[in-house]
Amino acid sequence: MSQFTLVINGKSRDVDVEPETPLLWVLRDSLGLTGTKYGCGLGLCGACTVHLDGKAVRSCQTPMKSIGSKKIVTIEGLGEGGLHPVQRAWIAEQVPQCGYCQSGQIMQAVSLLRSKPHPSVDEINAGMAGNICRCGTYQRIRRAIQRAARERTV
Amino acid sequence: MSPCAPIDRRQFIKASAELAGALILGFYLPGSAGQVSSPILNQEFRPNAWLVIAPDDRITVLCEKPELGQGSRTYIPMMIAEELEADWSKIRVEQAPTLPSIYKGLRTGGSGGVVNSFDQMRRAGAQAREMLVTAAAQEWSANRSDCRAENGSVVHVGTQRRLRYGELASKAAKLPLLGLNNVALKPFRDFHVVGTSVPRTDVPSKVDGTAKFGFDVRLPGMLYAVIARCPHFGGSLQAFDASAAKQIPGVKAIFAVPPLPRKLNTAGGVAVVADSNWRAMAARKQLKFIWKKGSREADSRTLRQSLERATRGEATYVAVDRGNALEVLSTATRKLEASYESPFQAHATMEPMNTTVQVREKQIEVWSPTQFADEVQQEIAQLAGLPSEQVIVHMTLSGGSFGRRYQWDYAAEAWQVAKNFKAPVQLLWTREDDMQHDFYRPYNFQYLSAALGSEDKPLAWSTRVVTTPIAETNVYSGYDESPEALKNPATVAALEWYGADVVPYDIANFRLDYAPVMSPVPRSWWRSVASSYTPFAKESFLDELAHLIGRDPLQFRLDLLANDSPNSARVRNVLQIAGKAAGWGQSLPSRQGRGIACFAGDTCNAQIADVSVDDDGTVHVIRVTSVVDCGLAVSPDGVRAMTEGAINFALTAVLTGEITIKDSAVEQSNFHDYQVLRIHESPEVDVHIVPSLEPPSGVGELGAMLVAPAVANAIFAATGVRIRRLPVDSALLQKVHS
């Protein structure tokens, strides 16, 4: 067991866990932030995607000991009190079906748009290929990212 | 179909009282007006079990159907709001409690969510509307016929006086209850909510992280459990060593869990319970086991040989025999024969199976992402030896289902673990557990044979379907669950051949028969069930016939439609619209092709796939055009979403997905070796909905039926290679350089 102080969604949180514990389980089990999902445990599906210093990472592959002072943002903190423009685009395009993967999809899409504000369809496909949606909302994910980019809101 | 029975109030109150404890747990219970002591509740109007109108105008809809992603928490309230003439902004939705004595529809399957609710939910809205109008007329001492309901109020036509539903609630609650069957329903043409694309009520919570799935249940003092299951189908746990695992901090207990008999089909194994998921999983990795393996019969290679052999042996069940197909085929001079094969498929829902259970003295509380809440309740009650009223089941959101959550093996397992603790216990299946202990889509072979007569008209057609039947291993066969039931060939065959009949194609002599091959691998419904593989064979074989005689595949289908078959006109229509929308007949670049397929049922569908095939054999599905005739589309955008999703879902089985068994265990374990469709592989999807004022029919599974034959036919058009086994083997499609 080790003490860690994390900065999550702008707030400082203390946890006492084994250093190898992946961030995913600390978020979900220690801190009650269940918006970040478990999907595969191997970084294959993207359901657990969060931001570490603004970049998308797979929290199931991010051990506590590797985080240091990096700032963590989860789906719960993305909109900073309101909805992030990408979340609004997700609503406008009615993307979710079951919705389980969508936190990860949205976190990945925000990260993609930060590096490529106006991605082509190929760039969207490449940037989102690590996030699985078994309901098959891919067509709407593409549209929502294009909408968010078009509205120049990121 | 759910019966549209009026709710018996006494029965309702009795059941509510039995579960009074549930109120303390924040469990919403609809009561009956005037029967509950709270003064606030007394002012609410509760005309039936699905609807509460509060004095502040808020309308609560209690939705029986599980929300698996298909939109039930939107289309159910739409049906109520349509007849209630409600203000949509005042409606909120809650999951109905698991009280099967009141709610008969705590389940969904077979694309039945809309169809099975459509009449009853509109009646629920109409009943409330009529009583609110009566209440207003009495308030104004006006003629009832001068009052009408409109956007959340009743309006007096002559004076334009207006009373909001909230203002009328307490008065309406005191009126004699109007029978659900004694209310007039609107003609479809007057609908202004149903038939529009109302934004889904669950979407906001699914983009901000607040939506709670089964796995998100968090209770004070909750423990976390995983089970290391016997990996071998038909095998068993011989011994285990937990000494290293017990050293992991936070581990509370490690113990054997026996397999559950009957059709629950759980593997049994060793449970690890800890104070966090991570610690439970870490401890599990330290366990050592001796497993007894199952029989070699379970292995895919052996099974494949048995299935193929059964395409030539005796049938156990003849499903259809029109005319004299076998005789015509045996004497025909021009014949075509082909065999098609589709292997096991996993559901691979994004949320793995899980259930949370708290066992108290004389009461068990269950939180489960399930498609079938009342069966979860009954099963756990039976296992625990309690009356079912003492088992409270909360049906949570499900992170996908596709048929998987029609089994309740995982809920029963969670009870097996939790009964040893006073604290609530959440059982998580890891992705590996989920992949290796699914109830898989049956492995199947189909052998087709057709005879051509004069002018190349198909004279006779026979289809032999061979599968590992669902009824053998499923938790809910829908029939008699006794072992004797499996001796009835009709029971075994019932779920295996749907979609294989050639109707409405006009083929005078047609025979469809079935032979089972038994296997210990668990099987179940997989989105569209038999129709996920029967159209692959039927519509591909039809394409083979068209090419054999040099006919255009679309025109061949149109010409073959029987004039007197009820679905012919609808199928003709969807085929023609699809052809036009997809640009059928246009020439395409080299190694690109277009393939068509159609389906006739309560819902009719035509799909056209555009593919390109790389020189190395890689297939790209560029676009799928899908034309849907589902009667009245309750939510057109919902129909589009279901169609897009089902196409993507089924493309996994066409392009990459395959579950194989070796040493009586599943070889795949996660998304690296069971590769599901990703965004860069997903086509453009162009959905067309046929305008219709016929009653609605299901769409949840429809899109999954035709993508296999449409893509296989497109691959033939692009390469001249016929795909008869799925997933597509790209080695067959490599460009041959001469």
The model's pLDDT over B347-369, given as tens digits with 9 standing for 90+, comes to 999 999 999 999 999 999 999 99
Model confidence over B25-59: pLDDT tens digits? 222 333 333 333 343 456 899 999 999 999 999 99
CA distance A59 to A28: 11
Single-letter code of the amino acid located at B154: V
Q: H/E element holding A56? A: strand A55-58
**Exposure pattern of B14-31 as b/e (b: 16+ CB <10 Å)?**
ebbeebeebeeeebebbb
Burial class (CB in 10 A: 0-12, 13-18, 19+), B354: buried
Nearest chain B Cα distance for residue A134, angstroms: 6
| CA torsion angle B62 B65 B71 B76 (round to 10) | -50
Tokens (6 digits) for B694:
């016929």
Spatial strand order in the sheet of B147-150: B147-150, B153-156, B162-164
Tokens (6 digits) for B313:
């042996």
Model confidence over A5-22: pLDDT tens digits? 999 999 999 999 999 999
Please compute the mean of the pLDDT values over residues B107-136 and round it to a whole number: 92
Can you give the pLDDT at residue B476?
Answer: 57
In this prediction, residue B298 has a pLDDT band, given cuts at 50, 70 and 90, of confident
**Which of B69, B641, B670 comes nearest A44 by C-beta?**
B670
Q: Closest residue of B to A101, CA-based?
A: B350
- β-bridge mates for residue B162, sequence order: B155
Can you give the pLDDT at residue B481?
Answer: 58
User: Among B466-480, B567-581, B601-615, which is the least confidently predicted range?
Assistant: B466-480
Q: Do A134 and B401 touch (CB under 8 A)?
A: no
Residue A28 has pLDDT above 60, yes or no: yes
Can you give the pLDDT at residue B105?
Answer: 83
Can you give the pLDDT at residue B26?
Answer: 26
Q: H/E element holding B279? A: helix B277-285
Contacts of A132 (CB under 8 A, 6+ apart): A39, A44, A45, A46, A47, A101, B350, B671, B676, B678
Q: What percent of chain B has pLDDT over 90?
A: 86
Nearest chain B Cα distance for residue A71, angstroms: 19
Burial class (CB in 10 A: 0-12, 13-18, 19+), B592: middle
**Which of B70, B213, B679 comes nearest A128 by C-beta?**
B679
CA distance B562 to B545: 17
DSSP B564-610: T-TTHHHHHHHHHHHHHHHTTT----TTEEEEEEEE-SSSEEEEEEE
User: Among A107-111, B32-36, B330-334, B566-570, which is the least confidently predicted range?
Assistant: B32-36
- β-bridge mates for residue B271, sequence order: B227, B255
Model confidence over B601-643: pLDDT tens digits? 999 999 999 999 999 999 999 999 999 999 999 999 999 999 9
- Give φ, ψ of B54 to 5 degrees: -95, 160
Contacts with B641 from chain A: Cβ below 8 Å? 94, 97, 137, 140
CA distance B592 to A115: 34
CA distance B200 to B31: 27
Using CA atoms, how far residue A115 sits from A51, A149, B31, B391, in Å, is: 13, 12, 54, 51
**Which of B211, B249, B350 comes nearest A1 by C-beta?**
B249
Q: Give me the residue label for tokens 């019966």.
A: B3
Distance between alpha carbon B297 and the CA centroid of its chain, in Å?
30
Can you give the pLDDT at residue B41?
Answer: 54
Residue B20 has pLDDT above 70, yes or no: no
Contacts with A128 from chain B: Cβ below 8 Å? 679-680
Q: What is the 3-state secondary structure (H, E, C) of B409-425?
A: HHHHHHHHHHCCCCCCE
Can you give the pLDDT at residue B16?
Answer: 43
Burial class (CB in 10 A: 0-12, 13-18, 19+), A48: buried
Nearest chain B Cα distance for residue A27, angstroms: 11
Distance between alpha carbon B405 and the CA centroid of its chain, in Å?
8
Contacts with B202 from chain A: Cβ below 8 Å? 96, 99
DSSP H helices in B313-428: 325-331, 373-384, 409-418
- Give φ, ψ of A76 to 5 degrees: -65, -25
- A window 51-110, beta carbon within 8 A of B: 74-76, 79, 83, 87, 90-91, 94-103, 106
Interface test with A, best of B74, B203, B207 (most A CBs within 10 A): B207
DSSP H helices in B85-177: 118-140, 165-173
CA distance B33 to B54: 11
Q: Do A136 and B648 touch (CB under 8 A)?
A: yes
**Which of B207, B401, B649 comes nearest A87 by C-beta?**
B207
Q: Do A42 and B348 touch (CB under 8 A)?
A: no
CA distance B231 to B269: 9
Nearest chain B Cα distance for residue A62, angstroms: 13
Phi-psi region of B699 (alpha: psi -120 to 50; beta: other; left: phi over 0): alpha
Residue B12 has pLDDT above 60, yes or no: no
Q: Closest residue of B to A34, CA-based?
A: B216
**Exposure pattern of A74-98 as b/e (b: 16+ CB <10 Å)?**
bbbbbbeeebbbbbbbbbbbbbbbb
Can you give the pLDDT at residue B7?
Answer: 41
Contacts with B653 from chain A: Cβ below 8 Å? none
In this prediction, residue B143 has a pLDDT band, given cuts at 50, 70 and 90, of very high
Q: Residue B286 gets which letter from DSSP?
A: T
Please tell me if residue B720 touches chain A, with a CB cutoff of 8 Å.
no
CA distance B173 to B2: 26
Contact B365, B473 (CB under 8 A): no
Model confidence over B388-444: pLDDT tens digits? 999 999 999 999 999 999 999 999 999 999 999 999 999 999 999 999 999 999 999
**Which of B281, B402, B670 comes nearest A42 by C-beta?**
B670
Q: How many helices (H) and strands (E) does chain B have?
A: 19, 27
In this prediction, residue A131 has a pLDDT band, given cuts at 50, 70 and 90, of very high
Contact B583, B551 (CB under 8 A): no
Interstrand relation of B391-395 and B425-428 (parallel, antiparallel or unpaired): unpaired
CA distance B116 to B106: 11
Single-letter code of the amino acid located at A75: I
Burial class (CB in 10 A: 0-12, 13-18, 19+), B575: buried
- β-bridge mates for residue B605, sequence order: B599, B628
Q: What percent of chain B has pLDDT over 70?
A: 93
Residue A154 has pLDDT above 70, yes or no: no
Please compute the mean of the pLDDT values over residues B710-729 and round it to a whole number: 98
Q: Do B679 and A39 touch (CB under 8 A)?
A: no
Phi-psi region of B631 (alpha: psi -120 to 50; beta: other; left: phi over 0): left
Contact B707, B681 (CB under 8 A): no
Please tell me if residue A131 touches chain B, with a CB cutoff of 8 Å.
yes
Can you give the pLDDT at residue B472?
Answer: 86
Q: Residue A153 gets which letter from DSSP?
A: -
Can you give the pLDDT at residue B736?
Answer: 84
Q: At what angle do helices A138-150 and A121-128 cross, to 10 degrees?
A: 120
Q: Do A1 and B71 touch (CB under 8 A)?
A: no
In this prediction, residue B2 has a pLDDT band, given cuts at 50, 70 and 90, of very low
- Give φ, ψ of B350 to 5 degrees: -65, -35
Q: Do B208 and A21 touch (CB under 8 A)?
A: no
Q: Residue B181 gets which letter from DSSP?
A: G
Q: Do B672 and A44 touch (CB under 8 A)?
A: yes
Instruction: Record the pTM.
Output: 0.94
B559 three-state secondary structure = helix
Contact B678, B502 (CB under 8 A): no
Contact B647, B686 (CB under 8 A): no
Can you give the pLDDT at residue B478?
Answer: 52
CA distance B354 to B352: 6
Model confidence over B90-113: pLDDT tens digits? 999 999 999 999 998 888 878 788
Can you give the pLDDT at residue B33?
Answer: 33
Can you give the pLDDT at residue B107?
Answer: 82
Model confidence over B368-381: pLDDT tens digits? 999 999 999 999 99
- β-bridge mates for residue A134, sequence order: none
Q: Count CB atoms within 10 A of the CB of residue A25.
A: 26
Residue B19 has pLDDT above 60, yes or no: no
Task: Quote the mean pLDDT of chain B.
Answer: 92
Contact B444, B341 (CB under 8 A): yes
Residue B461 has pLDDT above 80, yes or no: yes
Contact A51, A73 (CB under 8 A): yes
Distance between alpha carbon B411 and the CA centroid of its chain, in Å?
18
Can you give the pLDDT at residue B738?
Answer: 59
Contacts with A29 from chain B: Cβ below 8 Å? 224, 276-278
Contact B69, B78 (CB under 8 A): no
CA distance B202 to B561: 42
Please compute the mean of the pLDDT values over residues B13-34 and round it to a whole number: 34
B696 three-state secondary structure = coil
In this prediction, residue B475 has a pLDDT band, given cuts at 50, 70 and 90, of low
Q: Closest residue of B to A74, CA-based?
A: B209
